[in-house]
Structure 1
Amino acid sequence: MRISQVGNDSAEETYIAKMRFLCLHGAGTSAESLNRQGGITQALEDEGHEFVYVDGRVESAPEPDLQGAGIPPFFTHYRRDQAPGEELGLAMDHVKDIIAKRGPFDAVMGFSQGSALAASLLVNHGRTNDQPLFKLAVFICGAAPYDPANGLEFVTATEEKYPITIPTTHIVGKQDPVYPLSMKLYAVCDPSQAEFYDHGSRHLIPFDLKNTEAMIATIKKTIARASQ
């Protein structure tokens, strides 16, 4: 697939790769729950991109907002409301096993805790490998990633180095209680490679047309950057 970019008096064709996304849900939800919120992915699927939704490592109680609404079982990647410690390593191993069995994947998309886990995976892989684990990442209402070295502290950036340097999309909600953690996640990503969109709402993926179109456009910019 190609898009045309018009500059001055000429048109330049830019290659846009078809991406296969690994999709990681939030705590207390499921692959099915995230898939059912797929308004932003439908248009991208129509353009040839693929989204593979997988469940977390362990069954758990549902997210409070899903009480009586979601379809069990529900899963989590690691414990909520406190540092995961050794559970982070187990969660990363679970995803690595999925990648080995169902990959390869070009990209990763995470919601809430799924974003944090994806970021920890990227950081962990980048510490010992020159080639990134994924070409791009989409973080939606993302939580802050824990350091894969111990699972006890948040990953931080320095003035000299950003832990995540691949193209990223950050979709956040200003009314989201997780918003401060979403900004911590944004802070560890190279800003020159990052796209940012604030839908202004809570801890969810909006379904209204205006926000959906804006989120899709933001993700497309990241896909285009990763295709270069």
Structure 2
Amino acid sequence: MHFLCLHGTGTSSKILEMQTAAFRYELGDGHTYDFVEGTFSESLAPEFKAFIPTETVGFSYFDLDPTRASLQPVQDFEAFLAAEGPYDGVIAFSQGIILASTLILQNMQEQKPSPFKCAIFFSPRLGPMDYREFQKSGTVNEIRADQHAGVMTVPTALIWGSEDPDRPKAVEMQKLFSEGALFTYMHSGGHTVPGVGSHLDLMRSVNVARRAIELAAGDGN
């Protein structure tokens, strides 16, 4: 499968490549990956400063200034997919999940085909934004999962850490998915992608991702 890869706030495509290197290696099967960088410059996330001292700037897909909150990046993302796609799947970490899941949910609400056959989500910090509300009022708010239960039918692997301060969001996001579409794993780490430091967590993460990929392939989409 051909995957689009979306990073988190204050990181970069280069960092996401590093974060997912072990995961992608173990996933195997000749998959290909494109890494797309956010267009808004942000301070480098503190947890990466010790590991990548040469990097001083990270990026974001959204303008983090609340006075300029907009879902225009979702429209830009859709245009990017039309121009550069198609992609079979999406791999998203943290803020990247907001971008991918908002577009997937918007398409579901409009009864349009999903832009991706499957999704692999690591460490959600927020769920999808309410694109319909944004179109009506211009306000940007996260959707309420209990009001959209079961709407997400795209085969998805949702992976998060037991030490992640945002772990309640992963639990809440599970409500969005229809029965049989979601495969989950909670690893022993924090707000991160499991790597070579925890081989068991890495392999179990790979296993749930493979289940989502196999389901998507079996659907013939």
TM-score with structure 2 length normalisation?
A: 0.84
Larger Rg: 1
Cα deviation for residue 157 of structure 1 reads: 4.0
**Which residue matches 1:197?**
185
* Residues 16-52 of structure 1 deviation map (CA, whole Å, 9 limit, x = unaligned): xxx11111100110111001112111133x3111111
Q: Which runs of 5+ in 1 are unaligned?
A: 1-18
> Structure 1 residue 224 and structure 2 residue 214: aligned?
yes
Cα gap change, 1:84 to 1:136, in 2 (>3 Å):
farther
**Which residue matches 1:76?**
60
The one-letter amino acid of 2:163's match is Q
* Residues 69-103 of structure 1 deviation map (CA, whole Å, 9 limit, x = unaligned): 332441101245969841xx222123223313321
1:137-148 matches, cutoff 5 A: 137-143=119-125, 144-148=127-131
> 2:149, 2:185 → 1: CA distance?
23
Secondary structure of the corresponding residue to residue 108 of structure 1: strand
**Which residue matches 2:4?**
22
Secondary structure of the corresponding residue to residue 110 of structure 2: coil
Cα gap change, 1:216 to 1:156, in 2 (>3 Å):
same
More helix by share: 2
**Which residue matches 2:156?**
168
Secondary structure of the corresponding residue to residue 29 of structure 1: coil
Q: 2:23 aligns with which of 40, 53, 60?
A: 40
> 1:106, 1:90 → 2: CA distance?
23
**Which residue matches 1:62?**
44
Secondary structure of the corresponding residue to residue 131 of structure 2: coil
Identity %: 26
